[in-house]
Each structure stands twice: as C-alpha cells, then as structure tokens.
A and B are shown apart, each in its own frame.
Chain A
Amino acid sequence: MAECHPVGFQWVMEAKARGAKVIHVDPRFTRTSALADLHVPLRAGSDIAFLGAIVNYVLEKEKYFRDYIVAYTNAPTILREDFCDTEDLSGVFSGLNSETRSYDNASWQYEGTETQAASGERDQEYDERTGGGSSVTEAARGEAHGAGGAVIGEGEPERDETLTHPRCVFQVLKRHFARYTPEMVEQVCGVPPELFLQVCELVTENSGRERTTAFAYAVGWTQHTVGVQYIRTACILQLLLGNIGRPGGGILALRGHASIQGSTDIPTLFNLLPGYIPMPHAHQNQDLAAFVAAEAAPKGYWGNMRAYLVSLLKAYWGDHATEENDFCFDYLPRLTGSHSTYETTMAQLEGTCKGYFLMGENPAVGNANTKLMRLGMANLDWLVVRDFSLIESATWWRDGPEIETGELRTEDIRTEVFFLPAAAHTEKDGSFTNTQRLLQWHHQAVEPPGEARSDLWFAFHLGRIIREKLAGSADEMDRPVLDLAWDYPTKGPLVEPDAEAVLAEINGHDAAGQPLSSYEQLKPDGSTSCGCWIYCGVRADGVNQAARRKPGGQQDWVAAEWAWAWPANRRVLYNRASADPEGRPWSERKALVWWDADKGEWSGHDVPDFSKDKAPGYEPDQDASGPAALSGRDPFIMQADGKAWLYVPSGLTDGPLPVHYEPQDSPFPNLLHDQQRNPVRQLLPTLPDNRYQPSGDEHGSEVFPYVATTYRLTEHHTAGGMSRWQPYLAELQPEFFCEVSPELAAERGLEHTGWATIVSARAVIEARVLVTDRIAPLTVHGRRLHQVGLPYHWGPNGYTTGDAANELLHLSLDPNTHIQEAKAIAVDIRPGRRPRGPAAAELVRAYRARAGIDAHTGTEP
C-alpha cells in the first residue's frame, strides 16, 4: 500500500500512531513491509490456503463473534441435502460439468428457497425465474448459465440459530476449512507456523465487540484464476470476526487508478449498466418486465431494480423513453456471451472484431500475453488510441517486438491507427471515485495543450457527429443513437461539454426537473430520471456535493462534509451491523449508528444504511417485497435475504466456498486437494502463442521451477503511459529490473545490476538484476522455492524503456471476472541478455519442446 498508494498510506500511518498494528502479507519485502509491524512473506498464489487457515483457526478456537454471525450472516441457514462440498468430491463441488467447464448451482441453494445474487452472476437462474424461454446457447460461461439454474423453492430459508444442524452453513464451513491447518500453511505457503499463529492472534485479539480489524488488498488479489475467491475468503474471515459494517473494519480494495471504482460504478465493463444493474442478455422476447422479473431480487433494495433501470433509461433517452415503448429498453445492447478484454482480442484474431478504441489503456504492455494483444490489433480495420504519449499500443505496427522478430511486417498490416492526444486531469473538470466510494471533484486548472482534449469532449463530439451523419435516417437500427438525449451544454474555446451537467444527469431529477437527493425517490413509472442510482444525491439541492472540501480538523471523525460517498453519503456500508439486533451499538467504543427509540428512527455518526424509521423489531408481512420485505434485523440490505453471505448459493461461477487451487502454471502439486487447478477457470484457446505449462508432478514442470509475480513501483504507473515519458519519474526508476534473492542469484549465476533472461511458455524477456534480501526464499513442500519479482511498467517506447513483464503471462482467467493471472506464474531465469530477432522466438520454442508442451498441456479440468 505504501508502494502503490503512498497518499492513502498516510492514514495507515495515522492509525499506527493511534496504536494500530500493521501486518503485511506479501512475497516481497516492500516499502509497506518497511513500515509494518509484521511482514509475512508467502508463496505467490497461495493466499486462500493462508486465509483459509485463519478461518479454520477462528472456527476451531471459537474466536468468532457469535451474536453477530447468528444475527447477520447466513451461518444458521440450512443447505439442500444434495449439496456436496469439496470434502466429499475430491476438491470440487456438486454440479460440475467437466465438459463445459462449468457448474450448475442448483444444489448450492438454501433449503426451502431460491436466492438471487446481489451482484455477480445474476443470470444463472434466468429460465426458471421467467418460466422458460430460450437460453443463451453461445453465451458464455460467466454471464449466463442458461439452463443450469437453481430450482425455485418457496418460502423462507430454513435456519438453525444454534448453529448445530449438520447442513447449516456454519457446520459446512467448519468441515470445509478443517484441512486448512498451520501445517498446511507451512507446506503450501512457506510460512512458518509460529509466524502464522502470530498473525492469527493479532487479528483475532483485535476483533470482537470492542475492537475491529480492517483488510486492505491491492488488485493483485483479483489477478488469479481464483481471484474472486481470494476476496471471498477475506469476506468470510471478516464476517466471522464481526468486522463488516463497523468502524475500523471492512475490506478495502485498493484500486489501480484514481477512478477505477468510478469505472465500475458507471462502468466501462461490458456486462454492467450504471449502478451494477446487469446488462441484458440476448434472451428471446425479453422485455423490461421479463428482465426485471429475472434480474431483480424479490427482497432487499434490488427489489426496486425497475425504478433504477427506468430512471436510467430516462437519462439515456429522455422524452423518447415512454411507458408505451418500454422506456426504450429494446435500445439497450444485448450480450450474446462474454465480451471481456481478452475475448475481444480473440475476436480480433478471428476477424470478427474490426474496430477498437483504447482510451487511457496500453494493452501492448499492460495486458496479459501482450504479444497476442498486438497480433489482435494487427488484424483490425481501425484502431483509435487516446493517450498522453505515443504508447506502445499506438506504435506496435512500426516498432513493436514482432517487427523485430519478423513475425509482422509493417507493410502487411492493414490496421488504420488514429492517435488522438488526451487531456490530463488538471486540464478538465470531473470527479474521481476512490476505493472508499468517495466522489472527489477536481477543477480544471489549465486548457489542454495543442490538440489534446478530454475524454468527455471526445465522446460527446463523436456522438454529435455520428448523430449528424445519421440524421434523417429511417433505419430502425439508428433509432437508439438518434433518440439519445445528447444535449449537453458546452463552454469555452474548445467547446468542452460541461462536466457538471453530466453530473446533474447522473444525479437525476424529478418530473419538474428538480434535482433528486436520494435513490429512495426513484420511481418505476418514468417520472424520474437518474444516470446512476447509487450516485443519486451527489448533486442534492443542485449543489455539487463532491466538490466539498471541509478539512477534517473542522468536523467530526466521520468527516461527512469531505466530498460525497455513494450511496447517500454513507461512509461505512451496511452500518446497521454496527449495532446489535436490538439497535444498540455492540460497544460504546465502536458505536456508529443506533436506534433512537424516543425519536423512532436510526441515528448516529454516519448516515444509517437502513430505512430510517424501520424499528429493530419490525417484521415484514408475508407478501411484502423489495426493501419492505427486510426485517429490522437485516443489515445487508442489498442481499436477497438481508444477510451477509459466508456461503454463496448464487452468483459465483466457481463455487459457493473458496478452495485453494494451484495457479494455472505452478511448480507445485495441490497438497490440499486432488484437484490441481480451478476446474472452471476460464481458458482461452491454446493458440501457439498462448501455451500453458505443465504443473506440479506433471512431466516438464521442472523446466519452469521458479514463481514469478508482477507488481508496481511507486515511481511508475501501471503500463507506463503516464510515467515512462516523464523525465522526473523515469530517472527515479530508469530501467526494467527483476528482483531476486542472493540465494537464487548464486544458484543461477545472476550478477547484481547485470542482465537476466526470464522465460515462460509464452515469451522471453530480459531485465537488469537487483539482488536483494527483500525477496526471501521460502520452504514450500519441503523444498526451497525462489521467487522472481517483476515490475510490469516497461515497454519499448518512452523515455525509459525495457521489456514488458506481461509478455510472459498466459490467458487463463478468473471465470467470474475474466481477469488474467498476473500475480503467480512459473518461469525460468538465466543470466545474460535475451536473444534478439527470430532467435528469441526460437528460445521459447526450445523451452516448450523441453517441457513437452502442446495444445493440451495445462488444459485438464
């Protein structure tokens, strides 16, 4: 965190000043470790084994917060009889279809009901919920399970508040994690038991009624074939300890850019609409009512999905969206499968994706298997790159690595590449949404230089020009574009759209045009408009609440007047859980919100994340729906059952509980289960440039004996587009380097500041060598493991240049999120510089031959 989020780390330092203990778990000793109380080096890719063992410690030693989990989680909920855990099925769950590499989640359900996921894969039960209809045959895995949904049950889930029923979630958890012992942690993660127990003690002693512990992870956790399950394990732990919805608790995702949180809230993701409303799938005859019936939960705030969606459609299409035309619901694009970044690359290679916009993204350096990214772009008709500098993704056709090796020739490439310079954040108005969901407004300081323009300018004027070209068209296909409410006011010499007008559209307004102040005001009848329901209120009273900058010293510790947090300016989500079922704070010390019986409403330091006047004793009617169906003791108001999920019956593609599987490419067999890899990991085709490696005991795995992990340095930013061209930053980290231990250096003859060549089944790269004690060798499975650290900022362009670490990566992805496994791969390392030209590709081929790699290697379920 100090390494990649130095500004945010000031608050960790402040917490330390107040007595907090900081534990840093990372394969490397980083700038964070330097300031931590405890550094725990572990093998990259083994976090579920580590976290799972803490879960086991908590369950075994009875360190959980019993009152909390009984009242607020699904620990007492009883599962169906036909559910089989990994304990019963050698490391996989019931419902696995090895052919299609997918799970049918029917058997994962609660006894007595069917549950809709609050996020994630909601489309799993589409057919059942809509009474049939055509399933998505070509659709892909994560986005729709088509026929593989759960059986609909009636009534409330069965519960056992004594937590003793053998099929209750709590007992299932206990059995599931029983094998995650300190001894396993030592074997699998390379963490000595004493060190592991120290972590367990620190975390559990600092959790409970009086104290809370927070987890912070960088997005590296997501970059595994089991990335979502990493975070799920942390969720289970935090819920067992009662650290969710309470001050000082939670799980913080440290995002990779200033507004990545914002880019999922108002998404750049293919499968979401603003506010986490799912993008509709191409089901037949689907209309708004059918979509809402399929996607909305009967209980909780997702029960109001129609109001959120209709308000969004009104924001998109304005007066054209009417009750009669289903509010233009048919204008929304439909998913026919997964259209993630990597599948888009595959479509480029197949020739079905012909045009590509890259806005502030540098896949030729930053994505996994960067060579395939370039080959995909080389198969496009046109490519638009908007960035500050001529990044590698804009010039690969001229000077990319494949030009050097002769695999591509400039004169053969037909892609028309447009480079359009982009304005920096100081050159435009706008907001950043940070990891804490704070929207912070930034004001333009200067006009952008030359032809540089903001993304807002680009998107608005592109839309304007397209609409002008289509004007008068009678083609129905053009209606969605022509009917858009595309009337943003512009200002200044550059005809820049007014960013505050966009914020006003996002915030929403009522039929009279008055700004809304809360998503509770949104209506399903088209009388309200709102561009993103969770952002509703950011411009309450017509004031830009995100621009508030009252210093912390001038307000209380919640600091509610600094910027604006979605939703409703709540600083801690699900904060109803900070009070006990009767509405009293669990402890005075950790009070956040509470029930004020005199006033008959929720009160507290933070904005209560609960219906303001719903008393703790409130019990819903049998036929209640939406938020009204939640009782006064259901703090997790977005969940269909109002409870936090220790166990996930619906919404995940790869299992209701986390399981330690080895990374796609691993030098080690899976000691915890017979199943080596995530059985439903998303494998993209094993093209000649995307070969997978043998793992564990498989023949040839010894060819790649070391574990490599990629990361960022403070001095550079992601794929380098914002930093490698800056002399002041380039001089601070002037060359691509790899970090190795003195032991590995001795073993392989690597010289400090000399060169090393690093090889995987995909690519070969070279890096300068930093020999440092900060990368400790670990003892894993009884043998010594060396790890190689690779910062991934470099590429061939810019002021400081070097090979791109991500050339080495494969395209085996997390099946939920389609994110690459960048944080744990197996490699070989040798001294000296890499071969040039065709000899480089020859070296990789030689390694593949030596390891016996073919198109089937590593693709076993």
Chain B
Amino acid sequence: MSTSSSTKSRFELTRDDKPIAIAALFIVVILIAGTIYTLSRYGSMPLLTPTYLIQQLQIGSYLGIIAAGMMLVILISQIDLSVPWTLAAGAMMATAVGGPWALPMALAVGLIVGVVNGFGVAVLRIPSMIFTLGVNAVMRGLMVAQTGGFAPQTKATDLMRFLAAERSFGIPHAIFVWILISIAMVILLKKTAFGRSIYAIGNKEAAAYLSGVPTKRVLFIAFILCSTLSSFAGLLLAGYSTKAYQGMGDAYVLPAIAAVVIGGTNILGGRGRYLGTIVGVILIVLLNSVLSIMEMPEAGRQIIYGAVIIAMLLVYGRGEKATS
C-alpha cells in the first residue's frame, strides 16, 4: 500500500522485494556463467546480443502470460493444474474453427474451464489441487475424442501468426501482448478492490469473508482469468509454432508455478508482487536456454532445473505462513 512514504525513505528491501532481488541477481549470474562458457568454448558472447535476449523474451512471453493467471490463483491459496489441457484445448479449438472465430473460440474455451473450476472450488469446496487435476483429465479426453472422430484443421490463422510470431520494428508482437497483460495485472492487483480482495482472501479467507468481501465471486473471477490466459497462451503458442497439437501444454504447468514462486509469491497465498513473476519467468527461460547452449544432456538439465526451484524456495518464503 502506498499510503505512507516513511518506509521508502530508508534504503532497504521490503519482505516482498527480497526474493525479486535474489532472482534478478541469479539472472545476472546465469548470463555471466553462460558467457564465460561461450567465451572459453567459442570465443564469442552470443548471450549478450540483443537478438538472443529478444528471442528469450519472446519465448518468455508465452510462459509469462500463463504465469500471470497462475499467480492470481496462487495468491488466493489455490492452484490450477488444468492449465496444460486448457492451453491445448484453446489452441486446438481455435485452429479447428479457424478464421475470425479463432480468437473468440480460444477465449470461450478458457472462460468455460474457468467457470467449471470456480464452481468446483468456490461452491462445491473441493480442494483445487484435486478438482483442477480432474478437469485437466476431462479436457484431455474431450480433445482426444475431438481429434479422433475426424481430422480438424490444426493450422494457425493469420491473426495467430500476427500476434505470436510476427514482428514490428524488430520486436516480436508477443512481447507487446505480454507487456499489455502485465500492465493490466499490475493495475488489477494494485489499484482495484478486486486486487485487494485477492490478497485478503489469500491471507485469511475467513477474515475476508467476515469483512464482507465477496469471496465466492473473487474465487470465480481468479479461476476464469487463469484459464482464459492459459487458453489465450495456447492460441499464441499455436501461432508461434504454426499449428496446434495434443500435449502442447504439458511442458508449461510446472514452469508457470515455478516462475510465480521464484518471483516471491508465497505458494500458500496472500503475498507477492507481479514484478517478481516477470523476473521468475525470465529466470526460467534463461536457465533453460543456457543449459541447452552448454550442451547439458536432458537428464542433467532436469536435475539442475528442479534443484534451482527447490534451492530458491529454501532461500525465501519457506512455510512462513504456517507459523502465523
């Protein structure tokens, strides 16, 4: 809250800023380590070229959009594990209808999944970890049935190509899309009653409810936004890789959660800044990329990747909320 300037005059990091600073520092470490490797191996510094960095940001923008939605859900002490097949379904349904209806179709898929998730969690009170996992399986079944019966169109439309893959002034449009969504997220979390309610619910749902916060409505909206952002990211990814395919979302759920948590959002909800999620996304994308440049075998990459996530969680935010 920005009601007082007394804390800003002191030069110190607040509780929420510390993980962001650590993650940012780690990004620098990754870049330096990668550059030392390329210098010694090839005598060049490709990691520090604008082309490389912009390309990483483009790859990061798809993950970033998913992580934005995931962050909303994590902030209210929930989780959305239906992301992979919501993403795939959004992409597959969009390419299947094609033409001008591709974008509305993707958003509609997200909306429907979000309503179902919201209903399960807010009304039926089923733990989101189980409910969204079940929804993920259902979505997968629906998509397999959809492609099994007949062969739908899987080619990306021109709009999808425009949004996800094309560039203006040398900068991919996907990055602009991510920036727009990020600005909306910051406004949503910082400037609206909805944003305040999100943090309140994540900290103590009972207290928020007894203060007259419309907890059910907030839960619904958070799940709807998360699913819609996922299916929209699916549309972009299909545009980027020119087609939609089954399983295209499977590689995104863990990195999205990891990006949110590495950015300092408490996995138990109630705390975290959106800037942290952006930093977390960049960290994960760079880590992946540098490990592959270093020709680390897949097994080693997975181990390092997982170890980094665990190590970051140990450094900050470990079960702090459990004590209060």
- A, B assembled together: no
**Residues of A that sit less than 8 Å from B by CB:** none
**Residues of B that sit less than 8 Å from A by CB:** none
